Amino acid sequence: MILRTPPGVALILIGSGLYWILSSQLISSFTVLAPGLFQSVPSGVTLVAVVGVISLVIGLWIIHIDFNELAGLFARSDGWVFAIPIALVVSDVYLTLITLSYSSQIIELNPFVAATIQFGTAALVPFILSYLALSEGLALLMLKTGNWLFGGSNSSRFLPFALICGVASFGPFSNLLGFTLGYVSSLVYVLGAVGGGLIATLVYRTMKIHGDLLRPSLS
């Protein structure tokens, strides 16, 4: 029996690979939770980059699996639903750049994002590609996870995907509200969470009504 890679894994590997290659140069670490972890260890920085390259190569090797799934999903009459993670990534990055350029008093708290923006286009392009691949890959994987958890005929199988969309929308909502109301207000985060919940509900209801969107391989 041939073990088939679940849809979404290839994009996640590609996104992770780009992230690790970039982070090895910008924050000398695997994760933003521990920036500068390998800053004084040259071999450690190289290790992060090598792991990133390996992940990227493996992801590109099996990317046809994810592309086939996405092609089928986007071809559906309501295939726009599956492009929501991409739209959220683009809007999040765009609003972040606008917000940071609007006021010098606003500081990006994520050191990886801050270093990427300071480095310029050469770092920003692979960062955006990494973000896009991770978001869409995770969305595909959540479709499969929903089927594993709830079965192919239960409408609850759409819940993991809808929740991912809701969580991903917190960034764009909080950026937009912060730009409008000011980041000093805690109301920004409350309303951002409410907006994320509304997006998750809208996506779930849409997918529940049009349950035939999923291809047989995901069902």
Q: Which of 18, 38, 136, 143 is nearest to 87 (CA)?
A: 136
**Integer Cα distance of 131 and 94 in angstroms:** 13
Confidence tier at 155 by pLDDT (50, 70, 90)? confident
Q: pLDDT (tens digit, 9 = 90+) per residue, 36-60?
A: 777 777 788 899 999 999 999 999 9
User: Containing H/E element for 57?
Assistant: helix 42-61
pLDDT of residue 182: 64
Q: DSSP letter string over 74-121?
A: HTSTTGGGGGHHHHHHHHHHHHHHHHHHH-TT-----HHHHHHHHH-H
**Residue reference for tokens 């990227």:** 56
Q: Name the burial class of residue 173, with classes exposed (0-12), middle (13-18) and buried (19+) by CB atoms within 10 angstroms of its CB.
A: buried
Q: pLDDT (tens digit, 9 = 90+) per residue, 165-205?
A: 999 998 888 888 777 766 656 777 788 889 899 999 999 98
Q: Does the structure show a pLDDT above 50 at 86?
A: yes
How many of the other CB atoms lie within 10 Å of CB of 85? Answer: 24
User: Containing H/E element for 173?
Assistant: helix 170-181
**Integer Cα distance of 154 and 46 in angstroms:** 46
Q: Which of 25, 123, 149, 138 is nearest to 89 (CA)?
A: 138
Query: 3-class SS at 214?
Result: coil
Quote the pTM value: 0.85
Question: Of the spans 72-81, 129-138, 141-150, 172-181, which averages the highest pLDDT?
Answer: 129-138
What does each C-alpha distance from 197 to 36, 168, 173, 204 come to in angstroms? 35, 10, 11, 11
